[in-house]
């Protein structure tokens, strides 16, 4: 990645239009290791955006507006940094609005994300909704919170996206999240499904985008460590034991240890589906299948 200065717009008060990228990487180590890591993450994000046509236009030709969802975890911080990098390069047209949902968890450090985002100089919105009390009240102690918590959180983010006239909500899910979801669906859901890089919500008015879908979790973890993101631990589902996702992660870790590169091979399979070699007659026309001599 070229480490060039962004172009200054003289009509914008002499300020660089994407100074946020400079602030996001201000404390970055000046090492070859970090530069390669940064280039790999940003390149993977750019490739996902290109391949899945994420960076679209509105009917009037204006760029889309994205609600970039920040949880305070390593993945969402990396997501914002990568998107700001692409904006700096002129490789991303979409306007960005950062967003955090304060779910009312006890001890949640409310100042951390606003302080960080103020330091970057990016537009953002913080929403306070006490979903924590709802989840802990409705879900029995021996059950996991993730499903209900996710539904509540997603509904709020959809509402905020509409209020802010956004075209998409953008999430920090990565390659390993997609694989773990695939394994959970395979072993527990009885279906072949993972996390799509791009989808439209049920109402048909918002995209859900995952630009980090090609990125490895280990890369994002190292990226977050080197950039010293102010990580906020999850004290809700992140504190529970016995989660199916944790079990799938451990299983994948075991395979990866025995066969390095196993995760990447499995992810390539998600991008190389042969419907004729599965057994779903809703997805492939087996009835209409004929031999070449019959056609």
Q: What does the pLDDT read at residue 15?
A: 34
pLDDT digits (tens, 9 = 90+) for 37-58: 999 999 999 999 999 999 999 9
Q: What does the pLDDT read at residue 86?
A: 96
Residue 133 three-state SS:
helix
**CB contact set of 116 (below 8 Å; sequence gap of 6+):** 229, 230
Dist CA 173 CA 150 (whole Å)? 13
| Residue 92, token pair as written in the block | 């991303």
pLDDT digits (tens, 9 = 90+) for 58-117: 999 999 999 999 999 999 999 999 999 999 999 999 999 999 988 777 788 889 999 999
Domain ranges of the chain: 15-273
Q: What does the pLDDT read at residue 8?
A: 28
Q: Hey, which CATH number is domain 15-273, 2.60.40.420, 3.40.50.620, 3.100.10.20, 3.40.50.1820? A: 3.40.50.620
Dist CA 79 CA 212 (whole Å)? 7
> pTM for this one?
0.86
Residues of the chain with pLDDT below 50 are: 1-17, 239-241
| Residue 29, token pair as written in the block | 């180590």
First to last CA, the chain: 52
Please, what's the largest Cα pairwise distance for the chain?
72
Q: What does the pLDDT read at residue 123?
A: 95
Radius of gyration of the chain (CA): 21
């Amino acid at each position: 990645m070229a480490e060039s200065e962004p172009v200054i717009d003289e009509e914008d008060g002499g300020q660089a239009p994407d100074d946020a990228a400079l602030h996001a990487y201000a404390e970055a180590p000046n090492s070859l290791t970090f530069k390669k890591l940064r280039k790999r993450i940003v390149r993977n994000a750019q490739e996902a955006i290109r391949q899945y046509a994420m960076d679209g236009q509105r009917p009037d030709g204006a760029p889309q507006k994205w609600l970039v969802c920040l949880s305070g975890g390593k993945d969402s911080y990396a997501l914002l940094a990568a998107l700001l990098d692409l904006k700096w390069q002129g490789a991303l047209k979409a306007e960005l609005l950062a967003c955090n949902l304060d779910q009312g968890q006890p001890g949640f450090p409310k100042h951390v994300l606003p302080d960080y985002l103020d330091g970057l100089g990016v537009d953002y919105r913080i929403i306070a909704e006490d979903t924590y009390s709802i989840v802990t009240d409705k879900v029995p102690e021996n059950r996991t919170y993730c499903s209900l918590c996710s539904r509540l959180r997603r509904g709020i983010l959809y509402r905020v996206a509409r209020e802010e006239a956004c075209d998409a909500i953008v999430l920090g899910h990565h390659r390993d999240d997609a694989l773990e979801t695939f394994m959970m669906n395979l072993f527990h859901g009885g279906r072949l499904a993972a996390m799509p890089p791009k989808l439209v919500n049920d109402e048909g008015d918002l995209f859900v985008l995952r630009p980090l879908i090609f990125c490895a979790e280990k890369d994002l973890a190292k990226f977050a460590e080197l950039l010293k993101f102010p990580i906020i631990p999850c004290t809700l589902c992140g504190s529970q034991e016995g989660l199916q996702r944790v079990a799938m992660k451990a299983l994948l870790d075991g395979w990866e240890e025995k066969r390095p590169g196993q995760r990447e091979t499995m992810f390539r399979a998600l991008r190389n589906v042969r419907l004729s070699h599965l057994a779903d007659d809703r997805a492939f026309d087996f009835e209409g299948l004929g031999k070449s001599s019959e056609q």
